[in-house]
Amino acid sequence: MQDDSAESSPEFRVGQRVHSANDPRRIGTVKYVGPIEGHAGEWVGVDWDTGEAKHDGSVNGIRYFQAGSDRSGSFVRTKVISPGISLVRALELRYRTDSTKEEEDEMYVFSASNKRVSVQLVGKDKIQDKLSRFEELTGASLSYLGVSTPGDPGQIGTAVPNLKELDLTGNLLSEWKDVSTICEQLPALAALNLSNNLMSLDIYGLAQLKSIRILVLNDTGIKWTQIEKLKHSLPAIEELHLMGNNISTIEPTSSSVVQGFDSLRLLNLEDNCIAEWDEILKLSQIRGLEQLHLNKNNLNRIYYPHNTRIHEFLGGNESQKERKLFTNLRCLLLGGNNIEDLASVDALNSFPKLVDIRLSENPVADPGRGGIPRFVLIARLAKVEILNGSEVSPRERKDSEIRYVRLIMSKLHDPQEIKQVHPRFAELKNFHGIEDERPSVGVASLQKMASGLLSITLKCVGATMGEKPPLTKKLPATTTVGKLKSLSESFFKLKSIKPKLFLQEEGSPLPILLDDEMESLMDLGIGNGSTILIDEES
């Protein structure tokens, strides 16, 4: 409880968004307005977004409101909180007053991945005058300035008639009718960021926002049921960002799948809590969808329905029998989920145009958790051109596929098992002309030995090994990791140093530890031109 003498101050209402008068970044929701037993005057009960306050909405055993957590609520006098300011007033504060170095450091927008990107005031002295002439502004960042209202009718359109991009991150807006009022006065507005404004779930008073192409609603508390209502007001929407909203289900209103969104190219659902792939399949008929961001959800499997299953999924209409799912999807980001089965990886080959895939931070793609390395992912994914943010070059694809085939040949011998577990094996084996290796004698044996030599580059990286130039050696494919350690000690004269070997793969952020001394280069699928890093045991 924060006590100050009551003075003439704004009136507050339950549900109103406010911020601390001394800190516009400390934002909360009014939950109670009125007296408190044993304390004179009027008090305002606030539930703070940060959760850092004093109690749960009760004092001396009397409950006045229910806070979001045990210590997110507090009671304050009206003078220590602010109801916010108008958008035009925020423009004046940001662009018509001399900003301090600290304020300039805080000028940023959120990128699509929810990272802060600083707004650079290039040539500030020369452009300050231009910025102060609002009619020339095409982009404005008003993050965390306490904007709570559009202001007087027509004021925004008169002040900034040419605004195309508006960042309102972390303000006090909550009503969609206010968003509508702002957009209606800005006919050129194409990109709007409302992140970290706690938006009302009751969508009413929203006009047609015909010019909005990018809408960012990260951390706004919005659910898919509200998106279904919003889409009718967003006929030109191309990018929709919905990160951090605890969305777990996709709930279409008129059919089993989401309809409309005719212009939508990018949908960002990262950092939510979607667990079932069937929920994602409800998005499969958004025709223009090219990018679907699903990093940091709870997905544990992926599948692509075929034939009868698609027919059932789409409602069983005869006209939909041959319909494909995700027909234009090129980019699917699945990092940081719980995917652990190879069938999910193989299912990605069924998406008609999918070439950019992220699987990092999933058990299936983490060798440290029993997953498969990058080269196996590339070999199993026939069309992937960008994997985990790194381009797959033609050479890396060829090397990965050959290495993959050799790895399977060295470990598995049951054709039926190979067919079931490695569906691309036969195709790749034939494509690269790799023959079965059978026991042979005489001249054939010598030829086999020669053809089995691999060109391997060895590179010392240990801190105490000194500057040693890399060595390229031709080694039999049957060379074990243990033997390679002994050879490395000899090649580089590593006295009293116990080497530890890592395979450095093109495109992989971290080398792979080779810790099984009995496995051969062939067992590991290591091919020509590979690089082995030699470190030292700690």
Domain coordinates in residue numbering, the chain = 16-82, 85-97+122-398, 399-432, 453-536
pLDDT for 316: 53
Asked, colleague to colleague, whether 16-82 and 85-97+122-398 share their fold, the answer is no
H or E segment and range at residue 382: none
Q: Among residues 380, 338, 383, 375, which one has the least CA distance to residue 356?
A: 383
Flag whether pLDDT at 203 surpasses 70.
Answer: yes
Number of Cβ atoms within 10 Å of the Cβ of 423: 15
The larger pLDDT score, comparing residue 485 to residue 7, is at: 485
Closest CA to 378 of 353, 352, 399: 399
Of the listed ranges 167-171, 306-310, 528-532, the one predicted with least confidence: 306-310
Q: What is the mean pLDDT of residues 148-169?
A: 93
| Local confidence band at 9 (pLDDT 50, 70, 90 cut-offs) | low
Q: What is the mean pLDDT of residues 259-264?
A: 94
Q: Name which residue leads in pLDDT, 410 or 155.
A: 155
Q: What is the pLDDT of residue 107?
A: 52
Average pLDDT of span 176-186: 94
- Asked whether residue 301 carries a pLDDT value surpassing 50, the answer given is yes
Token reading at 396: 């890396």
Say which CATH topology domain 85-97+122-398 has: 3.80.10
Question: Cβ-count burial of 458 within 10 angstroms (0-12 exposed, 13-18 middle, 19+ buried)?
Answer: buried
> Which of the two residues, 64 and 506, has the higher pLDDT score?
64
Instruction: Tell me what the mean pLDDT of segment 339-352 comes to.
Output: 96
Query: What is the average per-residue pLDDT within 409-414?
Result: 79
Distance CA 143, CA 134 (A): 17
Residue 466 pLDDT grade (very low, low, confident, very high; cuts 50, 70, 90): confident
The answer to whether 168 touches 145, Cβ cutoff 8 Å, is no
The pLDDT of residue 505: 75
The per-residue pLDDT for 89 is 94
Alpha helices in 117-257 (DSSP H): 124-132, 155-159, 176-184, 224-230
pLDDT at 307 over 90: no
Residue 415 is encoded by which pair of tokens?
């054709």
Q: How far apart are CA 146 and CA 132, in angstroms?
A: 20
Alpha-carbon span 272 to 247, nearest angstrom = 5
- Do residues 145 and 107 make contact, with C-beta atoms less than 8 angstroms apart? no
- Kindly report, residue by residue over 384-403, the tens digit of the pLDDT: 999 999 999 999 999 899 88
Lowest mean pLDDT, pick from 108-117, 229-238, 288-297, 465-474: 108-117
Greatest mean pLDDT among 311-320, 374-383, 410-419, 520-529: 374-383
pLDDT at residue number 462? 85
b (16+ CB within 10 A) / e for 39-77: eeeebbbbbbbeeebebbbebeeeebbebbeeebbbbbb
C-alpha span between 245 and 269 (Å, rounded): 9
Class of domain 453-536: alpha beta
pLDDT at 3 over 70: no
Share of the chain above pLDDT 90, in %: 57
| CATH no., domain 16-82 | 2.30.30.190
Phi, psi dihedrals of residue 367, rounded to the nearest 5°: -55, -30
Mean pLDDT (whole number) for 373-391: 95
pTM of the model: 0.80
Q: Identify whether the C-beta of residue 377 lies closer than 8 Å to the C-beta of residue 387.
A: yes
